Structure 1
């Protein structure tokens, strides 16, 4: 078995020597970090471990202590069991539910989720959901630009959720993360969405790309909004983000694209919970808007009656 002591001095050089448990653990940490959009340096600082130590953990060569793993889990705002790959072992009921769902296909799982939601959640009818249209997806997909255009066409208010978060917190999302951590940011994000739904009988909402990393907030959005996943090719995402004034990745464009692909991979299954998706790549703004309006009309023709 490959091991690493706390200072990270022993490393495995052959992938075949890596322990499968450590490899799986490292992959889950890496994907959870990517899903939340947290750079490795930031996570290492939040977990109070060295960046080198965290890099070894993500590479599958870090045989870390339970206490260090707990620090990483807390920094990722998840249960330690989630890092270990099994969060459904803490009660007989969980075990029996897991047994019922084990091996089921995606369609069966969706049916089970809808049944549980009907039991435990206040589910608005389809007409109510159509009153709120929400766009999700990575930064640079066109959520804000196209969202404003859709809102104007439908004569509805447009809500930029990041602006609502800033209003509630008194500082921007980056400052919230830096001062109070990701948990506080997710609380503000949930509050901003709740107030938006309460204060606007109908509106168009542009969400932040990382909203899907909080399951509760995503579920609230899906229950109360007609949700559209705006997609784009990674290169288009990058070009648009740079055009917005973002600083390119310090290690180069190729590394930035690779990071973006990893973030998308970690979030894709959550974005796919949207009612439908629309790809904005290869289109002018006017073409993207026309195509998006046609897609919305095809999905919910009652919006245009």
Structure 2
């Protein structure tokens, strides 16, 4: 029997298009989903479903979301987003240009100075238990700049705890939210200290973007201190019923160390007090001039 061709479902294509445009418009305005919910009267969970392409939203509710984003509802529904006259003209010229010219134009429009791209943004990377959160918060207070936990930003954006985020979105969905949060924070803050989960470095695209937009510091310690500090936080899972936990931790550290080693600087907190480690972190920030003095 010959294969039969099935045309794409226009309804599914429309839902996907709306999902992409709502998500893009919200990110452009740096609006947490919670704030968009308050402005539109649409629940955060419904907005999460809408942006993931799983929500079949009514026109009435969609018009509320569009209004909250300062858009006309047709901008979310149309096959193509209308461009102004100049944009159309430049787009036509670009499309008709030979590949080498297109490449030159793209290179000219791309950000050129990595230092300017990173501004005064610092990100602390490393395995859990190294001291990223503690030192990041104290350094933020000392430097009078915001401190942000990436996972807390994700929780605030979707208005649910991280455990529910993982259950609702799954691993792939969480990684997408992680990348979105990174974009959101870098668009809002020119001066900030950020702490991220230890596994982010394994996501190549997200890690590349992180290192483009943030000065990175690997906060590190020894495997025994990693384990001890995690347990001191009240989490006994790394050791409970798992005698091979230390070997697994060492293997994980060995696997990720080459990725962490891509950071611009390191701070070793092994056998150091919080005060000493904080001084090391502040000295490192000053040494590499990661944050310029405010004029």
Map 1:190-201 onto structure 2 (within 5 A).
190-201=179-190
Q: Which residue of 2 aligns with 1:161?
A: 150
- Structure 2 CA distance for partners of 1:251 and 1:123, relative to 1, 3 Å: farther
Q: 5+ unaligned residues in a row in structure 2: which ranges?
A: 1-106
Q: Is contact 1:129-1:225 (8 Å) kept?
A: yes
Equivalence map 1:209-288=2 (5 Å) = 209-248=198-237, 249-252=239-242, 254-288=243-277
How far apart are the structure 2 equivalents of 1:270 and 1:119? 30
Query: 1:263 offset after TM fit, Å?
Result: 1.4
Q: Are 1:124 and 1:224, in contact at CA under 8 Å, matched by a contact in 2?
A: no
The structural deviation recorded for 1:176 is: 2.6
Work out which of the two has the higher radius of gyration on C-alpha atoms and give 1 or 2. 2
Corresponding position of 1:44: none
> What is the CA deviation profile of residues 158-193 of structure 1, one whole-angstrom value per residue up to 9, with x for unaligned ones?
111010111223333333333332100100100111
Preserved CA contact (<8 Å) 1:123 1:223: no
Any idea what the Cα deviations from partners look like across 1:114-134, whole Å, max 9, x if unmatched? xxxx79964543144141010
Alignment partners' CA distance in 2, 1:154 and 1:200: 14
Q: TM-score, normalised by structure 1?
A: 0.57
Equivalent residue, structure 2, for 1:126: 115
Pair 1:168–1:154, CA change in 2 (3 A):
same
> Retained in 2: the 8 A contact 1:297–1:304?
no
Checking the alignment, whether the CA contact within 8 Å between 2:140 and 2:192 is kept in structure 1 is yes
**CA shift digits 1:118-153 (9 cap, x unpaired):** 799645431441410100000011111100111111
Q: How far off is 1:257 after superposition?
A: 1.3
1:184-212 CA-to-partner distances (Å, cap 9, x unmatched) read 01001001111011111211101111111
RMSD across aligned C-alpha pairs, in angstroms? 2.3
Q: Distance in 1 between matches of 2:209 and 2:254?
A: 22
Verify the 8 A CA contact 2:120 2:291 in the aligned structure 1. Answer: no
SS of the residue 1:204 aligns to = strand
Matched residue SS, 1:181: helix
Q: Deviations over 1:241-292 (max 9, x none)?
A: 111111233324x422112112112211111111111110111110111112
Listed one character per residue, the Cα deviations across residues 1-51 of structure 1 (whole Å, up to 9, x for unaligned) are: xxxxxxxxxxxxxxxxxxxxxxxxxxxxxxxxxxxxxxxxxxxxxxxxxxx
Unmatched 5+ stretches in structure 1: 1-117
Question: Equivalent of 2:174, from 162, 185, 188?
Answer: 185
2:224 counterpart SS class: helix
**What is the number of residues matched between the two proteins?**
188
The two structures have a TM-score, normalised by structure 2, of 0.59
Kept in 2, the 8 Å contact 1:229–1:277? The answer is yes
